Amino acid sequence: MSLRHLVDFNELTAEEWEGIYSLAADIKKNPANYSEACKGKILATLFYEPSTRTMLSFQTAMLRLGGNVIGFDNPENSSVSKGENLKDTITIISCYADIIAMRNPKEGAALAASLFSSRPIINAGDGGHFHPTQTLIDMFTIRQKKDTLSGLTIGLCGDLKNGRTVHSLLRALNTLGKNTYYLISTESLALQSHIIDALRENGNTVYEVTSLEECMDKLDVLYMTRIQKERFESEEQYKAQSGLYILDKEKMDMAKSDMIVLHPLPRVDEITEEVDYDPRAMYFKQVQNGLYVRMALIMKMLEAREGEKESLDIEKYMDLPREQHCKSNVCVTKTENYLPLLTYKTPDGKTACMYCDHIID
Ligand code: CP
Protein backbone atom coordinates (compact mmCIF):
# COMPACT_ATOMS: atom_id res chain seq x y z
CA MET A 1 0.00 0.00 0.00
CA SER A 2 1.57 3.28 -1.10
CA LEU A 3 -0.97 5.48 0.69
CA ARG A 4 0.49 8.39 2.64
CA HIS A 5 -2.73 10.09 3.73
CA LEU A 6 -6.46 9.32 3.54
CA VAL A 7 -8.24 12.58 2.68
CA ASP A 8 -10.83 11.11 0.29
CA PHE A 9 -11.87 7.46 -0.21
CA ASN A 10 -11.07 7.79 -3.92
CA GLU A 11 -7.35 8.01 -3.13
CA LEU A 12 -7.54 4.27 -2.47
CA THR A 13 -7.07 1.90 -5.38
CA ALA A 14 -9.55 -0.99 -5.72
CA GLU A 15 -6.68 -3.25 -4.58
CA GLU A 16 -6.08 -1.17 -1.45
CA TRP A 17 -9.82 -1.23 -0.61
CA GLU A 18 -9.76 -5.05 -1.01
CA GLY A 19 -6.75 -5.20 1.31
CA ILE A 20 -8.50 -3.17 4.00
CA TYR A 21 -11.73 -5.18 3.56
CA SER A 22 -9.94 -8.53 3.91
CA LEU A 23 -7.84 -7.42 6.87
CA ALA A 24 -10.89 -5.96 8.68
CA ALA A 25 -12.83 -9.18 8.06
CA ASP A 26 -9.95 -11.20 9.55
CA ILE A 27 -9.61 -8.89 12.56
CA LYS A 28 -13.37 -9.33 13.12
CA LYS A 29 -12.90 -13.12 13.21
CA ASN A 30 -9.59 -13.25 15.11
CA PRO A 31 -9.12 -10.00 17.07
CA ALA A 32 -6.61 -11.55 19.50
CA ASN A 33 -4.14 -12.14 16.63
CA TYR A 34 -3.70 -8.37 16.27
CA SER A 35 -3.28 -7.31 19.89
CA GLU A 36 0.39 -6.29 19.41
CA ALA A 37 0.29 -5.25 15.74
CA CYS A 38 1.00 -1.57 16.55
CA LYS A 39 3.01 -1.96 19.74
CA GLY A 40 5.10 1.18 20.35
CA LYS A 41 3.12 3.33 17.89
CA ILE A 42 1.16 6.46 18.80
CA LEU A 43 -2.07 7.72 17.23
CA ALA A 44 -3.05 11.40 17.70
CA THR A 45 -6.78 12.17 17.52
CA LEU A 46 -7.30 15.89 16.84
CA PHE A 47 -11.02 16.63 17.03
CA TYR A 48 -12.01 20.26 16.39
CA GLU A 49 -15.67 19.11 16.24
CA PRO A 50 -17.68 16.81 18.54
CA SER A 51 -17.66 13.06 17.98
CA THR A 52 -18.56 9.89 19.82
CA ARG A 53 -18.02 7.03 17.35
CA THR A 54 -15.19 8.26 15.17
CA MET A 55 -12.89 9.55 17.89
CA LEU A 56 -13.51 6.77 20.40
CA SER A 57 -13.34 4.01 17.79
CA PHE A 58 -10.03 5.33 16.45
CA GLN A 59 -8.67 5.44 19.99
CA THR A 60 -10.05 1.97 20.79
CA ALA A 61 -8.67 0.62 17.51
CA MET A 62 -5.13 1.80 18.35
CA LEU A 63 -5.37 0.51 21.95
CA ARG A 64 -6.62 -2.90 20.71
CA LEU A 65 -3.63 -3.01 18.34
CA GLY A 66 -1.30 -2.53 21.31
CA GLY A 67 -0.47 1.11 20.55
CA ASN A 68 -1.12 4.36 22.46
CA VAL A 69 -3.17 7.49 21.88
CA ILE A 70 -2.79 11.24 22.47
CA GLY A 71 -4.92 14.17 21.33
CA PHE A 72 -7.69 16.64 22.10
CA ASP A 73 -11.46 16.45 21.75
CA ASN A 74 -12.02 20.20 22.03
CA PRO A 75 -9.71 22.78 20.42
CA GLU A 76 -10.53 25.18 23.30
CA ASN A 77 -8.36 22.94 25.51
CA SER A 78 -5.41 23.21 23.13
CA SER A 79 -3.28 26.10 21.84
CA VAL A 80 -5.76 26.49 18.97
CA SER A 81 -7.64 28.67 21.49
CA LYS A 82 -4.57 30.98 21.62
CA GLY A 83 -4.65 31.42 17.86
CA GLU A 84 -2.34 28.62 16.69
CA ASN A 85 -3.07 27.84 13.05
CA LEU A 86 -3.63 24.40 11.52
CA LYS A 87 -0.19 24.31 9.88
CA ASP A 88 1.64 24.82 13.18
CA THR A 89 -0.59 22.41 15.13
CA ILE A 90 -0.02 19.67 12.56
CA THR A 91 3.72 20.35 12.37
CA ILE A 92 3.94 20.00 16.17
CA ILE A 93 1.80 16.86 16.42
CA SER A 94 3.89 15.27 13.62
CA CYS A 95 6.82 15.44 16.08
CA TYR A 96 4.92 13.35 18.66
CA ALA A 97 2.69 10.83 16.86
CA ASP A 98 3.15 8.19 14.16
CA ILE A 99 -0.29 8.75 12.61
CA ILE A 100 -2.97 11.45 12.97
CA ALA A 101 -6.79 11.24 12.71
CA MET A 102 -8.32 14.72 12.44
CA ARG A 103 -11.88 16.10 12.33
CA ASN A 104 -12.30 19.79 11.51
CA PRO A 105 -15.36 21.89 10.60
CA LYS A 106 -13.63 23.49 7.59
CA GLU A 107 -14.01 21.78 4.21
CA GLY A 108 -10.60 20.81 2.88
CA ALA A 109 -8.92 20.90 6.32
CA ALA A 110 -7.63 17.34 5.95
CA LEU A 111 -6.01 18.09 2.59
CA ALA A 112 -4.50 21.25 4.09
CA ALA A 113 -3.14 19.29 7.08
CA SER A 114 -1.67 16.65 4.78
CA LEU A 115 0.50 19.30 3.09
CA PHE A 116 2.32 20.02 6.34
CA SER A 117 2.39 16.61 8.00
CA SER A 118 5.33 14.25 7.88
CA ARG A 119 2.97 11.61 9.37
CA PRO A 120 -0.09 10.04 7.70
CA ILE A 121 -3.24 12.15 8.08
CA ILE A 122 -6.61 10.39 8.22
CA ASN A 123 -9.61 12.59 7.43
CA ALA A 124 -12.11 11.91 10.23
CA GLY A 125 -14.55 14.43 8.70
CA ASP A 126 -13.92 17.87 7.13
CA GLY A 127 -17.09 19.94 7.52
CA GLY A 128 -19.87 18.83 5.19
CA HIS A 129 -17.30 17.62 2.64
CA PHE A 130 -16.00 14.05 3.19
CA HIS A 131 -15.85 11.33 5.83
CA PRO A 132 -13.87 8.54 4.12
CA THR A 133 -13.47 6.22 7.11
CA GLN A 134 -17.26 6.18 7.63
CA THR A 135 -17.45 5.18 3.96
CA LEU A 136 -15.07 2.28 4.56
CA ILE A 137 -17.38 1.14 7.36
CA ASP A 138 -20.56 1.60 5.30
CA MET A 139 -19.13 -0.35 2.39
CA PHE A 140 -17.73 -3.07 4.65
CA THR A 141 -21.18 -3.51 6.21
CA ILE A 142 -23.03 -3.56 2.85
CA ARG A 143 -20.58 -6.09 1.44
CA GLN A 144 -20.73 -8.34 4.49
CA LYS A 145 -24.55 -8.44 4.20
CA LYS A 146 -25.03 -8.35 0.40
CA ASP A 147 -21.74 -9.87 -0.87
CA THR A 148 -21.47 -7.09 -3.45
CA LEU A 149 -21.35 -3.31 -3.94
CA SER A 150 -22.91 -3.42 -7.42
CA GLY A 151 -26.34 -4.14 -8.90
CA LEU A 152 -28.10 -2.94 -5.74
CA THR A 153 -31.01 -0.56 -5.27
CA ILE A 154 -29.91 1.93 -2.62
CA GLY A 155 -32.00 4.66 -1.00
CA LEU A 156 -30.34 7.61 0.74
CA CYS A 157 -32.66 9.69 2.87
CA GLY A 158 -32.47 12.99 4.77
CA ASP A 159 -29.85 15.73 4.56
CA LEU A 160 -28.17 14.79 1.31
CA LYS A 161 -26.81 18.32 0.80
CA ASN A 162 -24.82 18.60 4.04
CA GLY A 163 -24.23 14.92 4.84
CA ARG A 164 -20.51 14.29 4.35
CA THR A 165 -21.04 10.55 4.79
CA VAL A 166 -23.44 10.57 1.82
CA HIS A 167 -20.97 12.47 -0.37
CA SER A 168 -18.10 10.13 0.47
CA LEU A 169 -20.20 6.96 0.10
CA LEU A 170 -21.59 7.90 -3.32
CA ARG A 171 -18.16 8.90 -4.67
CA ALA A 172 -16.77 5.57 -3.48
CA LEU A 173 -19.62 3.40 -4.78
CA ASN A 174 -19.39 5.23 -8.10
CA THR A 175 -15.86 3.91 -8.56
CA LEU A 176 -16.61 0.32 -7.51
CA GLY A 177 -20.03 -0.55 -8.94
CA LYS A 178 -23.18 0.41 -10.84
CA ASN A 179 -26.38 0.73 -8.82
CA THR A 180 -29.85 2.24 -8.82
CA TYR A 181 -30.15 5.14 -6.39
CA TYR A 182 -33.23 6.70 -4.83
CA LEU A 183 -32.30 10.10 -3.37
CA ILE A 184 -34.99 10.90 -0.81
CA SER A 185 -34.93 14.51 0.40
CA THR A 186 -36.60 17.90 0.27
CA GLU A 187 -35.59 20.23 -2.53
CA SER A 188 -33.60 22.36 -0.03
CA LEU A 189 -31.52 19.40 1.15
CA ALA A 190 -31.07 17.72 -2.24
CA LEU A 191 -27.74 16.21 -3.23
CA GLN A 192 -25.40 18.51 -5.18
CA SER A 193 -26.06 18.22 -8.92
CA HIS A 194 -22.40 17.53 -9.77
CA ILE A 195 -22.52 14.33 -7.68
CA ILE A 196 -25.75 13.22 -9.41
CA ASP A 197 -24.22 14.00 -12.82
CA ALA A 198 -21.13 11.93 -11.98
CA LEU A 199 -23.32 8.97 -10.96
CA ARG A 200 -25.37 9.15 -14.17
CA GLU A 201 -22.28 9.58 -16.35
CA ASN A 202 -20.92 6.34 -14.90
CA GLY A 203 -24.03 4.34 -15.83
CA ASN A 204 -25.91 4.44 -12.52
CA THR A 205 -29.67 5.05 -12.49
CA VAL A 206 -30.69 7.93 -10.20
CA TYR A 207 -34.20 8.88 -9.09
CA GLU A 208 -34.89 11.93 -6.93
CA VAL A 209 -38.02 11.50 -4.78
CA THR A 210 -39.50 13.37 -1.82
CA SER A 211 -40.95 10.52 0.27
CA LEU A 212 -39.79 7.18 1.62
CA GLU A 213 -43.12 5.60 0.61
CA GLU A 214 -42.28 6.13 -3.08
CA CYS A 215 -39.42 3.62 -3.02
CA MET A 216 -39.50 1.58 0.21
CA ASP A 217 -40.56 -1.68 -1.51
CA LYS A 218 -37.70 -1.48 -4.08
CA LEU A 219 -34.70 -1.01 -1.80
CA ASP A 220 -31.89 -3.46 -0.94
CA VAL A 221 -30.20 -0.86 1.26
CA LEU A 222 -31.67 2.19 3.01
CA TYR A 223 -29.10 4.74 4.24
CA MET A 224 -30.81 7.10 6.69
CA THR A 225 -29.13 10.35 7.75
CA ARG A 226 -29.62 13.03 10.39
CA ILE A 227 -30.53 16.59 9.40
CA GLN A 228 -27.16 18.28 10.02
CA LYS A 229 -28.26 21.01 12.45
CA GLU A 230 -24.72 22.41 12.79
CA ARG A 231 -24.56 23.26 9.06
CA PHE A 232 -27.66 25.55 9.08
CA GLU A 233 -27.37 29.31 9.40
CA SER A 234 -30.35 29.64 11.78
CA GLU A 235 -32.54 27.55 14.10
CA GLU A 236 -35.57 28.48 11.96
CA GLN A 237 -33.97 27.10 8.80
CA TYR A 238 -33.13 23.87 10.64
CA LYS A 239 -36.63 23.52 12.10
CA ALA A 240 -38.20 23.90 8.65
CA GLN A 241 -36.28 20.80 7.50
CA SER A 242 -36.33 18.60 10.61
CA GLY A 243 -38.79 15.83 11.46
CA LEU A 244 -39.88 15.32 7.83
CA TYR A 245 -38.38 11.84 7.29
CA ILE A 246 -39.00 9.29 10.02
CA LEU A 247 -38.39 5.59 9.52
CA ASP A 248 -40.88 3.66 11.69
CA LYS A 249 -42.35 0.17 11.85
CA GLU A 250 -45.10 1.07 9.38
CA LYS A 251 -42.55 2.03 6.72
CA MET A 252 -40.37 -1.01 7.52
CA ASP A 253 -43.46 -3.17 6.81
CA MET A 254 -43.39 -1.86 3.20
CA ALA A 255 -39.76 -2.99 2.68
CA LYS A 256 -38.25 -6.25 1.41
CA SER A 257 -37.53 -8.90 4.04
CA ASP A 258 -33.78 -8.69 3.29
CA MET A 259 -33.44 -4.91 2.99
CA ILE A 260 -30.83 -3.52 5.39
CA VAL A 261 -30.99 -0.16 7.19
CA LEU A 262 -27.74 1.75 7.69
CA HIS A 263 -27.17 5.06 9.47
CA PRO A 264 -23.77 6.63 10.24
CA LEU A 265 -25.22 7.87 13.57
CA PRO A 266 -25.81 9.85 15.71
CA ARG A 267 -29.58 9.53 15.29
CA VAL A 268 -31.94 12.27 16.39
CA ASP A 269 -35.53 11.40 15.45
CA GLU A 270 -35.24 9.95 11.96
CA ILE A 271 -35.45 6.28 13.07
CA THR A 272 -37.89 5.31 15.82
CA GLU A 273 -36.58 3.05 18.62
CA GLU A 274 -38.94 0.20 17.62
CA VAL A 275 -36.91 -0.21 14.40
CA ASP A 276 -33.81 -1.02 16.49
CA TYR A 277 -35.31 -4.47 17.23
CA ASP A 278 -35.95 -5.26 13.54
CA PRO A 279 -33.26 -7.72 12.30
CA ARG A 280 -32.83 -5.54 9.20
CA ALA A 281 -31.52 -2.65 11.33
CA MET A 282 -27.72 -2.73 10.85
CA TYR A 283 -26.66 0.61 12.33
CA PHE A 284 -25.33 -0.72 15.63
CA LYS A 285 -23.53 -3.56 13.79
CA GLN A 286 -22.06 -0.82 11.56
CA VAL A 287 -20.58 0.79 14.69
CA GLN A 288 -18.99 -2.53 15.73
CA ASN A 289 -17.61 -2.99 12.21
CA GLY A 290 -16.14 0.51 12.50
CA LEU A 291 -13.68 -0.71 15.10
CA TYR A 292 -12.34 -3.53 12.87
CA VAL A 293 -12.20 -1.30 9.79
CA ARG A 294 -10.28 1.43 11.64
CA MET A 295 -7.87 -1.17 13.09
CA ALA A 296 -7.23 -2.42 9.54
CA LEU A 297 -6.76 1.11 8.19
CA ILE A 298 -4.27 2.11 10.91
CA MET A 299 -2.26 -1.08 10.28
CA LYS A 300 -2.20 -0.57 6.51
CA MET A 301 -1.23 3.11 6.75
CA LEU A 302 1.57 2.45 9.23
CA GLU A 303 2.82 -0.48 7.11
CA ALA A 304 3.01 1.86 4.12
CA ARG A 305 5.28 4.14 6.13
CA GLU A 306 7.89 1.50 6.90
CA GLY A 307 11.20 2.60 5.39
CA GLU A 308 9.64 5.65 3.72
CA LYS A 309 11.62 8.89 3.76
CA GLU A 310 9.84 11.68 5.63
CA SER A 311 9.09 14.52 3.24
CA LEU A 312 6.44 17.21 3.26
CA ASP A 313 3.92 17.51 0.42
CA ILE A 314 4.08 21.32 0.72
CA GLU A 315 7.50 21.29 -0.97
CA LYS A 316 5.71 20.45 -4.24
CA TYR A 317 3.52 23.56 -3.92
CA MET A 318 6.01 26.14 -2.60
CA ASP A 319 5.92 28.31 -5.74
CA LEU A 320 2.14 28.50 -6.08
CA PRO A 321 0.25 31.71 -5.21
CA ARG A 322 -0.83 32.00 -1.57
CA GLU A 323 -3.70 34.51 -1.90
CA GLN A 324 -7.19 33.48 -0.83
CA HIS A 325 -8.97 32.05 -3.82
CA CYS A 326 -12.11 30.10 -2.95
CA LYS A 327 -15.40 31.93 -2.46
CA SER A 328 -16.93 29.29 -0.22
CA ASN A 329 -17.31 30.50 3.37
CA VAL A 330 -16.76 26.98 4.68
CA CYS A 331 -13.52 26.33 2.77
CA VAL A 332 -10.38 25.94 4.89
CA THR A 333 -8.69 28.64 2.78
CA LYS A 334 -11.01 31.27 4.32
CA THR A 335 -9.33 30.96 7.70
CA GLU A 336 -5.94 29.38 6.90
CA ASN A 337 -4.89 32.08 4.46
CA TYR A 338 -1.26 30.93 4.01
CA LEU A 339 -2.47 27.93 1.97
CA PRO A 340 -1.28 27.66 -1.64
CA LEU A 341 -3.73 27.93 -4.52
CA LEU A 342 -4.75 24.40 -5.50
CA THR A 343 -7.35 23.88 -8.25
CA TYR A 344 -8.47 21.31 -10.79
CA LYS A 345 -10.64 21.26 -13.91
CA THR A 346 -14.07 19.58 -13.73
CA PRO A 347 -15.22 17.38 -16.67
CA ASP A 348 -17.22 20.36 -18.04
CA GLY A 349 -14.14 22.61 -17.99
CA LYS A 350 -14.84 24.65 -14.85
CA THR A 351 -12.18 25.45 -12.26
CA ALA A 352 -12.82 23.94 -8.83
CA CYS A 353 -11.09 24.36 -5.48
CA MET A 354 -9.06 21.26 -4.64
CA TYR A 355 -9.65 21.73 -0.91
CA CYS A 356 -13.46 21.89 -0.88
CA ASP A 357 -14.54 21.13 -4.49
CA HIS A 358 -16.55 24.35 -4.84
CA ILE A 359 -16.54 25.85 -8.33
CA ILE A 360 -14.32 28.95 -8.46
CA ASP A 361 -15.40 30.32 -11.88
N1 CP B 1 -20.62 8.55 12.36
C2 CP B 1 -19.93 9.51 13.00
O3 CP B 1 -19.10 10.19 12.41
O4 CP B 1 -20.25 9.66 14.32
P5 CP B 1 -19.55 10.69 15.32
O6 CP B 1 -19.92 12.08 14.84
O7 CP B 1 -20.11 10.38 16.68
O8 CP B 1 -18.09 10.47 15.24
Instruction: Give me the DSSP letters along 42-104.
Output: EEEEEESS--SHHHHHHHHHHHHTT-EEEEES-GGGSGGGGT--HHHHHHHHHTT-SEEEEEE
Is the distance from the beta carbon of residue 267 to the nearest atom of ligand 1 less than 6 Å? no
**How far, in Å, CA of 33 to CA of 218, rounded?**
41
**165 C-alpha to ligand 1 centroid (Å):** 10
**266 C-alpha to ligand 1 centroid (Å):** 6
**How far, in Å, CA of 240 to CA of 359, rounded?**
28
Is the distance from the beta carbon of residue 54 to the nearest atom of ligand 1 less than 6 Å? yes
Contact 25, 82 (CB under 8 A): no
Q: What residue's CA is closest to ligand 1, atom 1?
A: 264
Nearest to 172 by CA among 150, 194, 193, 153: 150
Q: What residue's CA is closest to ligand 1, atom 5?
A: 51
**How far, in Å, CA of 154 to CA of 107, rounded?**
26
**How far, in Å, CA of 176 to CA of 13, rounded?**
10
**53 C-alpha to ligand 1 centroid (Å):** 5
**313 C-alpha to ligand 1 centroid (Å):** 28
Is the distance from the beta carbon of residue 51 to the nearest atom of ligand 1 less than 6 Å? yes
**125 C-alpha to ligand 1 centroid (Å):** 9
What amino acid occupies position 135? T
Peptide bond into 266 cis (omega under 30): yes
Contact 243, 189 (CB under 8 A): no
Q: What residue's CA is closest to ligand 1, atom 3?
A: 54
**75 C-alpha to ligand 1 centroid (Å):** 17
Backbone φ, ψ for residue 118 (5° rounding): -90, 0
* Ligand 1 pocket test, candidate residues 46, 52, 129, most atoms within 8 A of CB: 52
**223 C-alpha to ligand 1 centroid (Å):** 15
Q: Which atom of ligand 1 is nearest to the CA of 125?
A: 3
Per-residue pLDDT tens listing for the chain (361 residues): 445 899 999 889 999 999 999 999 999 999 999 999 999 999 999 999 999 999 999 999 999 999 999 999 999 999 999 999 999 999 999 999 999 999 999 999 999 999 999 899 999 999 989 999 999 999 999 999 999 999 999 999 999 999 989 999 999 999 999 999 999 999 999 999 989 999 999 999 999 999 999 999 999 999 999 998 888 889 999 898 888 899 999 999 999 999 999 999 999 999 999 999 999 999 999 999 999 999 999 999 999 766 555 566 777 777 766 666 788 999 999 999 899 889 999 878 889 999 999 988 7
What amino acid occupies position 300? K
In the sheet with 42-47, reading across from the earlier edge strand, the strands are: 68-72, 42-47, 99-104, 121-126
